[in-house]
């Protein structure tokens, strides 16, 4: 999943959650929560920076950032509950919904074929619905731009989550421009 897929998924899930909960907030506060959901959906992948750092400093082989607790539900649930119970305004409490929609959607779509440690810390097994296409064949590519272009074309575009991503982006655009 690309950052824009994750952002769109976070937006759509938070929109649905807010429609169900129907909080007594002003329209601009709801809009602000929807914008925040984009941030929380994308921030989950920032653990990639740590995994790259680890690989370099420890000269380790491939370390998947999805094997970090930041890609497991429990730390997010604790964080969401903390925000909910520590917030002293209605907007603050519903901010927890934006985090849940953003980060929650991220873990859900990563489950399609990347794998998420749903049972962490009890198990480090990464659960996924489908095995994605092999992605190691371009690791010798020196030019980073060409590397990413090849990864996009031959790995990402062949994933099932690519189509899910397109559908989710379309749904987010309909919600946004349709002012639903």
Return residues touching Zn ion (CB under 5 A): 45, 110
Least distance in angstroms from the C-beta of 126 to Zn ion: 11
Q: Which is nearer to Zn ion, 30 or 66 (CB)?
A: 66
Least distance in angstroms from the C-beta of 44 to Zn ion: 5
Q: Which is nearer to Zn ion, 110 or 113 (CB)?
A: 110
Q: Which is nearer to Zn ion, 65 or 150 (CB)?
A: 65
Residues 107 and 69: beta-carbon distance below 8 Å: no
Q: Which is nearer to Zn ion, 5 or 45 (CB)?
A: 45
Q: How far apart are CA 137 and CA 141, in angstroms?
A: 9
- Paired with 127 in beta bridges are 116
Helix (H, G, I), strand (E, B) or coil at 67: helix
Q: How far apart are CA 66 and CA 142, in angstroms?
A: 24
Q: How far apart are CA 158 and CA 63, in angstroms?
A: 23
Least distance in angstroms from the C-beta of 2 to Zn ion: 10
């Amino acid at each position: 999943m690309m950052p824009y897929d994750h952002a769109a998924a976070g937006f759509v899930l938070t929109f649905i959650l807010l429609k169900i909960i129907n909080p007594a907030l002003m329209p601009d506060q709801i809009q602000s929560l929807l914008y925040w959901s984009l941030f929380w959906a994308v921030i989950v992948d920032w653990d990639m920076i740590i995994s790259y750092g680890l690989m370099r400093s420890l000269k380790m082989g491939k370390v998947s950032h999805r094997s970090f607790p930041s890609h497991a539900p429990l730390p997010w649930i604790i964080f969401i509950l903390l925000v909910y119970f520590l917030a002293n305004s209605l907007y603050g409490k519903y901010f927890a919904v934006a985090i849940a929609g953003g980060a929650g959607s991220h873990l859900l779509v990563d489950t399609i074929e990347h794998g998420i440690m749903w049972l962490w810390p009890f198990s480090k097994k990464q659960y996924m619905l489908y095995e994605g296409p092999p992605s190691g064949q371009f690791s010798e590519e020196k030019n980073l731009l060409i590397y990413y272009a090849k990864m996009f074309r031959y790995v990402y575009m062949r994933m099932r989550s690519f189509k899910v991503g397109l559908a989710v982006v379309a749904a987010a655009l309909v919600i946004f421009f349709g002012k639903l």
